[in-house]
Structure 1
Amino acid sequence: MRVVVAGATGRIGSRTVARLRDHGVEAVPVSRHHGVDVLTGDGLSEALRGAEVLVDVTDAPARTEGAGLHFFRTATTNLLAAAVAAGVEHHVVLSAVGADLLWSDYFRAKLLQEDMVRNSPVPHSVVRSTPFFESIEVMVERNTFADEVRVAPVLVRPVSTEDVAVTVAHVAVGLPLFGLGEVAGPEVRRLDELASEVVTAREDGRVVVPDPRARYFGAELRERTLLPGEGARLGHMAFAEWLGRPVVPANGRVS
């Protein structure tokens, strides 16, 4: 089986390639580093030649207003056209839990991406993930005002990028879902409590303030918006385990 992974240099993409190769799958990494640009389409036809499966774990490089919509509309258009031309039999795309409920540029863009994949002639699977552990740390930075971090006290099942990659790889080698699957972490926690644990672990003196009006990457949250539905695949790594690992500087990206 030949599986092309678009976005292969990101946190999820690199791990997905590794997990596929662990199981003897021919995983072909695709990114600008590999001479393929999903925004211009350069190199896509060659990369997808002979591929049975296309996995899209790309992410918008900027979080400015409109950037997400532009990226996902353009990249998905190019990926779908190349997939159809190459005769790809299964298109797997990574999205976010709450994409249909949250109103911000990023989540609207993810929903657009999902809709484009659903409406294409290529058999598809959409894997929605709850927030990555790393996104909690990025959120802390974005929601800091002076020495306070304002975070909505809502429920969430944060998940490790490794657990997400395992799920994406598993879906990629299976039959198309023709719908949604979800992956989440093993624990139900409160978002503000997780933020407090990050601040405490980093020992930077900031105080987390629960604020129902605080936004999550531009979106207003409700109590259960970030929780998956029943039947979600649950990962194994706990937030505390990840938090105890060496610090990786936040780069401002969700994934």
Structure 2
Amino acid sequence: MRIAVAGGTGWVGRLVVAEAERAGHDVVVIARSRGIDVIGGDGLDAALRGADVVIDVTNRTTLDGAKATAFFETVTRNLQEAGVRAGVKHHVLLSIIGVDRVAWGYYQAKLHQERVALAGPVATTVLRAAQFHEFAVQSLTRFGGPVAVVPRMLSQPVAAREVAAELVRLAAGAPAGMAAEIAGPEVLEMGALVREVARAHGPHKWVLSLPMPGRAGKAMATGGNLPSGPGIRGTETFDQWLRRRGADSPTAGPASPR
């Protein structure tokens, strides 16, 4: 089938593209660098022509909930409306475990995006994923200086390549609404993971794990980002990922606890 990957030149998008091509699908990459603007809509109709499925892994790197909401709503509506015109039958959206339980601005923006997609004219599947293993690197390197401040949170981190494979598997099937959540094999504390990265690969910093304020911080610290029930479980542990890190891991990425 023909799969269009929105955000296909980003780090996660490249993994999705590779998985889709490995599965034998015809892949179209939707990105501004390819002359396709998901915000303004330029080139979108032509890019989706003949596509069966859209996988949306676009992201806005911001801690501002209002800006994130505006971005995700615009992208989702544009993809869905252009999808209707092109005859797209299935819209697959990557989201985050806990967006319905952690009242934090970026998460609320993703929750709103889920609702817009599910209510849209193209049948939708939403995959909520746990934080990727790489989030520990992003937390360590996001800001300069000798200290890395990390939100106190429990997570069940998952390999991004396993999430990419699940997105492609879902895209090849029938629309499912809310799909089973995907997480990794272990429940771990994020501050401890960031310290492991600092010791193993650097940069060597003092890692300070602090609770985020309010209800959102309490939810993160007490399991709000853990799977809410049975679902897909990846097999790669954090330690296994840490040993092979370097081949496809970013040194920076979304400044959101995903």
- TM-score, length-normalised on structure 2? 0.88
- C-alpha displacement at 1:184, in angstroms? 0.9
Q: What SS is found at the alignment partner of 1:133?
A: coil
Name 2:106's counterpart in structure 1: 106
Instruction: Give the 3 Å change call, closer, same or farther, for CA 89–144 of structure 1 in structure 2.
Output: same
Task: Give the whole-Å Cα distance in 2 for the aligned partners of 1:27 and 1:120.
Answer: 23
Task: Give the whole-Å Cα distance in 2 for the aligned partners of 1:139 and 1:249.
Answer: 10
Residue 250 (structure 1) aligned to one of 240, 245, 252: 252
Instruction: Give the 3 Å change call, closer, same or farther, for CA 228–41 of structure 1 in structure 2.
Output: same
CA contact (8 A) 2:60 2:254 kept: no
- C-alpha displacement at 1:71, in angstroms? 0.9
Name 2:234's counterpart in structure 1: 235
Quick one: which amino acid aligns to residue 24 of structure 2? G
Segment of structure 1 superposing worse, 131-140 or 70-79:
131-140
After superposition, give the CA deviation of every residue in 1:141-161 in whole Å (9 maximum; x if it has no partner).
458886464541x42111121
Q: What SS is found at the alignment partner of 2:27?
A: strand
Name 2:94's counterpart in structure 1: 94
Q: Structure 1 residue 171 and structure 2 residue 173: aligned?
A: no
Instruction: Give the 3 Å change call, closer, same or farther, for CA 202–117 of structure 1 in structure 2.
Output: same
CA contact (8 A) 2:150 2:209 kept: yes
Name 1:67's counterpart in structure 2: 67
Name 1:214's counterpart in structure 2: 212
After superposition, give the CA deviation of every residue in 1:100-150 in whole Å (9 maximum; x if it has no partner).
112222111101110001111211100001011222222234588864645
Q: Structure 1 residue 115 and structure 2 residue 125: aligned?
A: no
CA contact (8 A) 2:156 2:187 kept: yes
After superposition, give the CA deviation of every residue in 1:219-249 in whole Å (9 maximum; x if it has no partner).
5224111111222211122212222323742
Q: Which runs of 5+ in 2 are unaligned?
A: none
Quick one: which amino acid aligns to residue 190 of structure 2? L
Q: Structure 1 residue 6 and structure 2 residue 27: aligned?
A: no
Quick one: which amino acid aligns to residue 249 of structure 1? T
Instruction: Give the 3 Å change call, closer, same or farther, for CA 21–142 of structure 1 in structure 2.
Output: closer
Name 1:162's counterpart in structure 2: 161
Segment of structure 1 superposing worse, 242-251 or 187-196:
242-251
- C-alpha displacement at 1:55, in angstroms? 0.8
| Structure 2 counterparts to residues 29-40 of structure 1, below 5 A | 29-40=29-40
Q: Please provide the CA RMSD for this pair.
A: 2.4
Name 2:81's counterpart in structure 1: 81
Q: What SS is found at the alignment partner of 2:198?
A: helix
Q: Which runs of 5+ in 1 are unaligned?
A: none
Name 2:17's counterpart in structure 1: 17
Identity of aligned residues (%): 35
- TM-score, length-normalised on structure 1? 0.89
